Structure 1
Amino acid sequence: MPQFMLIMRSTDEALAASKEVDFEEIITAMGRFNESLMEAGVMTGGAGLADASQGAVVRFGESGAASEAVLGAYGETPALLNGYWTIETDSLEDAVEWAKRCPLGPGNSIEVRRITDESDFADYADNEYIQKEEGWAEELAEKRARRELP
């Protein structure tokens, strides 16, 4: 079954408007949405993201090397990434239907993207790193189980 990432984006105007709403109402509405994803058995992960002022952007130059890191807010942006969910559904259409249920107001959007899997790289199955990928996934799962990773 394919997995999809639901990427929550907000404009500066939408973020300003959200400050006019009681934050507990926002938490409750999102909690209900998350709970519905869990109860339906489609949610596989997700998290909200801290304000952009607490992050950084690493930009890459023409050579492909990281050329600069800008700390803090991004400045003027058309849409800020505020959080994400990963879900597993039968189709893109089902994932879109779940995204439509998210309790967001005007100026917000959710981008729905399929998460790649091994079938996307079948033509490169002999690549060393494609072969290592499965082992890495198992290693990360074991570390999480031992609480070595968040």
Structure 2
Amino acid sequence: MRYLMMVKASGFTEAGIGTSREYAAKMRSYRHELEQAGVFLAHEELQPSSAGLRVDYPTGGGEAEVWPGPFSIDQGLLAEFILMDVDTEEEALQWALRMPVPAGQGAYGIELRRLEDRLEQPRDARQAAMELELKNYLQL
């Protein structure tokens, strides 16, 4: 089962304030543990919402509205995510509870969400693109 572990943004992450070297080392070690356990799929840090855009579609249709950031932290902003493949929800929770928390940066929140299972999961997007190109070529 694939789970997305979403780390909530804080005033510190939204201000672009980095974490300590000690915390960065703990996170590298944590990601290494995920890799060694064979559950790690991806990890990315997001830029602050001031570098983002929001697209809203009105109820009932119509033109999309595009809003530049920054956005309010109370709107559930994300700072980073880890994608993992585990056997149970409990295992995902245990990994979330082991994630290091940066000291001195206020409240810290993590949300875990299971991804929908797909019948076909291409391992590599480039491989899927090449397969599609080959299928199109063979149909000529």
Aligned to 1:100: 97
TM-score, L = length of structure 1: 0.70
1:114 aligns with 2:99: no
Q: Deviations over 1:127-149 (max 9, x none)?
A: xxxxxxx4x9478241689xxxx
Q: What residue identity is the alignment partner of 2:127?
A: E
Q: 1:47 aligns with which of 20, 44, 47?
A: 44
Residue correspondence of structure 1 range 1-150 to structure 2 within 5 A: 2-12=1-11, 15=13, 19=17, 22=20, 24-65=21-62, 67-74=64-71, 76-78=72-74, 79-105=76-102, 106-118=106-118, 134=120, 137=122, 140-142=125-127
Q: Is the 8 A contact 2:42 2:82 kept in 1?
A: yes
Paired residues of 2:14 and 2:49 also in contact (CA < 8 A): no
CA RMSD of aligned residues (A): 2.9
Instruction: Give the deviation of 1:101 after TM superposition.
Output: 0.8
Distance 2:55 2:65 in 1: 6
Partners of 1:10 and 1:107 within 8 A in 2:
no
Segment of structure 1 superposing worse, 90-99 or 43-52: 43-52
Distance 1:6 1:65, change over 3 A: farther
Q: Give me the TM-score of the superposition, normalised by structure 2.
A: 0.74
Gaps of 5+ in 2: 131-140
Corresponding residue for residue 124 of structure 1 = none
Q: CA deviation at 1:100?
A: 0.6
Query: 1:8·1:83 contact (CA, 8 Å) conserved in 2?
Result: yes
Percentage of pairs with the same residue: 23
How many residue pairs end up in the alignment?
Answer: 126
| Shift, 1:47, TM fit | 0.9
Secondary structure (helix, strand or coil) at the match of 2:60 reads coil
| Structure 1 pair 87–144 and aligned structure 2 pair: CA distance change class (3 A) | farther
Residues in 2 aligned to 1:48 and 1:61: alpha-carbon distance in whole angstroms: 30
